[in-house]
A and B are shown apart, each in its own frame.
Chain A
Amino acid sequence: MTDVMIEARDLTKHYGPITALKNATFQVNRGEVVGFLGPNGAGKTTTMKILTCFIAPSEGTARIGGADIFDDPIAVREAIGYLPESTPLYTDMLVLEYLEFVGKMRGLRGAGLQARLRKVAEETSVGDVIGRSIGELSKGYRQRVGLAQALIHEPPVLILDEPMSGLDPNQAAEIRELIREIGRERTIILSTHNLAEVRVTCGRVLIISQGQLVADDTPDELAARAGKPRFVATLRQNGHSASDIREAFSSIGDAQSVKEQTGAAAGEVIVELVPKGNQDLRADIFQAAVSANLVLLGLEQRGENLEDIFRQLTTGGGAPS
């Protein structure tokens, strides 16, 4: 059995004159949770629709669990649990009716179906709304029902298109936790444009921009690629001039640059220090402030975060050095 669960090769999709996706090639291994990141219209949904055999690529192909999307679309669909964008469900049906319908469509019957229904209802905590009409449910519960239908046949691969959009922070946190739970045993691709989400849930990030893959890395690696950490100290001015204060920190051996930052409140000075390597300068900064008799009001470490990288990669800036 192969460990590559999703293998996309040179996926290209044209909609008339528009190229929605261009030569996307990537692999996802068993047990990975991969975040698919990009601005709206970058090609995330197109890629997911191709992987689920809803649409065919103009060029290239993909294999899910070894089955080709052109040669064996039924096997591909059997291997996938899919939650499309905005969770389209039959709002006139009861939750139980709906999950039964999906279970039957997935080939489950009788006692097997009942057992799976109980299991997914428990996993996704939809038990207390099982007899309600889907149309009456809150967005958070609908999302759970959407996940429940995607899980009912225990698919090895889950494809979730913006599973957390439109949820309030509490609901989003619950769904995130749920996805993490599910992701222990399954391969998951989820698309999002929420970066904090990716950091928490995904082991790997694919960033797509204007139909092209521009990054494929772990969130931490991506952040590291973006540059060194910076240390930002806020000090009380207390009669010292800004250049005196800067001077006081220039004695720190590991500091590559010390510069003053704008935006300080009256009577305060903000200084930014960049280390030569990856050293932690916080202790040095404290010591330097004490020996120069400066009052340290605040000290924080800032990495260039995923947001910055995302912006750089998706606005045509190319990979950060």
Chain B
Amino acid sequence: MNHILTIGGRQFRSYFNGPVAYIVICIVMLTLGFFFWNTFFLYGRASSREMFRWLGLILVFALPALTMGLLAEEKRTGTIDLLITMPVTEAQVILGKFLGVLGLYAVLLVLTVAYPISVSTLGHLDWGPVWSGYLGLFLQGSAVLAIGLMASSWTDNQLIALFVALTLSVFFWVLDKFLALLPTNAASVLEWLSFDYHFQSMARGVVDLRDVLFFFSVTVFALALAFRALESRRWS
């Protein structure tokens, strides 16, 4: 556990040594502000629904930028050699890296709480759906970050990692957007696999164990594949 925390802590701090964390935080806050306030007064409702609708989508695009370098950059520069040859297991490296980026994501989420707070000063805000929405964001974000870490474990090129992670996360987000074109059976499967379907239900204030388990499974699955990729290096 100590090793996981040490790796995670180093990763978390290193985000602030470079520009990536600041850029991502700025872009997320600015685009959220633009989309949110653009329609807020139009609807004239003190609701968090709109915010979560946008934030869910923005993060699917923004989070792969945080994960692209996690392992790819270490492989490119060779620092992975030193990391792996310390007395740690591959699983500890993967979990540490994941924890580091999850920490940064948590900071980002905390910053966005400014929006519901400002909404609550303008009218009566129901905080229930806000908290369940944040839980949903956290879970969906974990899944996206795990997918990004997995993509980063497959290559030593950050841009390829970014592209793969973006493609996969957007794919899972967009799955329930074209259901009208499909036969009902296929539609319900796709809907169930969609990130947005599970997330929106939490943003409405419904915490269903199935939604939680869905994101949790995707996260664990992606981390397991990242572990496999990192470990396969030994036997290549």
User: Which residue from A56, A77, A84, A107 sits with its C-beta under 8 Å from B235?
Assistant: A56
Stretch at the interface among A98-106, A172-180, A238-246, A252-260: A98-106
In the assembled complex, the Cα of A123 lies from the Cα of B212 at a distance in Å of 53
- Chain B residues lying within 8 Å of A54, measured Cβ to Cβ, are 81, 84-85, 233-234
Give the interface centre of A53, A104, A107 by most chain B CB atoms within 10 Å: A104
A106-B14 in contact (CB<8A) = no
**Whole-angstrom CA separation of A320 from B69 in the bound complex:** 50
Say yes or no for B114: interface residue by CB 8 A criterion.
no
Which residues of B approach A to under 8 Å, CB–CB? 2-3, 6-7, 10, 13-14, 17-18, 77-82, 84-89, 233-236
- A84-107 CB mask vs B (1 if < 8 Å, else 0) is 111011111100010001101111
A side interface size, CB within 8 A: 30
A-B contact pairs, 13 of them (CB 8 A): A15-B236, A53-B234, A54-B81, A55-B233, A88-B79, A88-B82, A89-B79, A93-B17, A97-B13, A101-B6, A102-B82, A104-B2, A106-B86
Q: With A and B bound together, what is the CA distance between A220 and B166 in angstroms?
A: 60
CB atoms of A74 and B89 under 8 A apart: yes
- A143 on the B face (CB < 8 A): no
* A78 is an interface residue with CB less than 8 A from chain B: yes
* A55 cross-chain contacts in B, Cβ below 8 A: 233-236
A82 touches B14 (CB 8 A): no
Q: In the complex, A102 Cα to B126 Cα: how many Å?
A: 47
Question: Does A313 sit within 8 A of B, measured CB to CB?
Answer: no
**Inter-subunit contact A90/B14 (CB<8 Å):** yes
Residues of A within 8 A of B7 (CB): 105
Q: Are B86 and A90 in contact (CB under 8 A)?
A: no
The answer to whether A74 and B236 touch across the interface, beta carbons within 8 angstroms, is: no
* A191 at interface, CB cutoff 8 A: no
The reply to whether B82 and A92 form a contact with Cβ atoms under 8 Å apart is no
Asked whether, in the complex, the Cβ of B82 is within 8 Å of the Cβ of A84, the reply is yes
For B84, the closest partner residue in chain A by CB is A54
Known: A53-B234, A56-B234, A82-B81. 16 other contacts (CB 8 A): A54-B84, A54-B85, A55-B233, A55-B234, A74-B88, A77-B85, A78-B87, A85-B78, A88-B80, A92-B14, A93-B14, A101-B6, A101-B10, A102-B82, A105-B87, A105-B88
When chains A and B are docked, how far (Å) is the Cα of A55 from the Cα of B17? Answer: 31
Q: Which residue of B has the minimal Cβ distance to A74?
A: B87
Identify the A interface with B (CB < 8 A). Answer: 15, 49, 52-56, 74-75, 77-78, 80, 82, 84-86, 88-93, 97, 101-102, 104-107, 149
Q: Which chain B residues border A53 with CB–CB below 8 Å?
A: 84-85, 234
Contacts of B233 in A (CB 8 A): 54-55
Known: A55-B234, A88-B78, A90-B14. A106 touches B2 (CB 8 A): no
CB nearest to A83 among chain B residues? B82
- CB pair B78 A106 closer than 8 Å: no
Residue in B18, B80, B86 whose CB lies within 8 Å of A92: B18
> B79 near A90 (CB under 8 angstroms)?
yes
Q: How far is the CB of B113 from chain A (nearest CB, A)?
A: 29
Smallest Cβ distance from B37 to chain A, in angstroms?
35
CB neighbours (8 Å) of B85 from chain A are 52-54, 77, 80, 82, 84
Q: With the chains together, A127 CA to B214 CA distance in Å?
A: 51
Give B68 Cβ to nearest chain A Cβ, in Å.
Answer: 16
Q: Report the 5 A-B pairs with minimum CB-CB distance, sorted nearest first.
A: A88-B78, A92-B17, A84-B81, A52-B85, A77-B87
**Contact between chains at B81 and A104 (CB < 8 Å):** no
B6 CB contact (under 8 Å) in A80, A93, A104: A104
Kindly list chain B residues whose C-beta atoms are within 8 Å of the C-beta of A97: 13
The CA of A106 and the CA of B235, in the complex, are separated in Å by 25
A102/B79 in contact, CB under 8 A? no
B6 surroundings in chain A (CB, below 8 A): 101, 104-105
B124, chain A: closest CB distance, angstroms = 46
Q: Which residues of the partner chain B approach A149 to less than 8 Å between Cβ atoms? A: 82
Residues of A within 8 A of B14 (CB): 90, 92-93
**Bound complex: CA of A52 vs CA of B233, how far in Å?**
13
B170 to chain A, nearest CB (A): 29
